[in-house]
Structure 1
């Protein structure tokens, strides 16, 4: 494990951070990479935006009134 992770590792850590708390070492390595890599910074910001958007989705009345398929 090098001090500065690759873009692939940062993408993996970004995904994992959605499900669990990263360790202090993981966060530090990711932060170091994001300071210099615009592409990974954009990817991380987009993932955070998608997560916030998914949390804000509230079913509308129309969605609730639609017939649901049997299970």
Structure 2
């Protein structure tokens, strides 16, 4: 029988359908009796859904060459 710690370890695999049938069944049976783990799984599903919906866009205007040169200059000027 699965324990709560097992659910936490296997939750992602469970949601992605990557668990062998025996483990999937064991986890399902645990979820039938454990409301805390059901809540945890529901929160995980909601988080995944929210992140997938929002998909923040990154606007990167950083001049990486200038930044690398500045870091190189700083590292060379520090006493070792």
Per the normalisation by structure 2, the TM-score is 0.64
- Give the SS at the match of 2:2: coil
Q: Which has the higher helix share?
A: 2
Task: Supply the distance in 1 between the matched residues of 2:31 and 2:63 (Cα, whole angstroms).
Answer: 45
C-alpha RMSD over aligned residues: 2.4
Give yes or no for contact 2:14–2:24 (8 Å, CA) kept in 1.
Answer: no
* Structure 1 residue ranges, 4+ long, deviating more than 6 angstroms after superposition: none
1:24: which partner in 2? Answer: 21
Q: Could you tell me which runs of 5 or more consecutive residues in structure 2 were left unpaired when the two chains were aligned.
A: 66-80
List alignment gaps of at least 5 residues for structure 1: none
Q: Which moved more, 1:12-21 or 1:50-59?
A: 12-21
- Tell me the TM-score normalized by structure 1: 0.71
Pair member with larger Rg: 2
Question: Number of aligned pairs?
Answer: 65
Instruction: Provide the C-alpha distance between the structure 1 equivalents of 2:26 and 2:63, rounded to a whole number of angstroms.
Output: 46
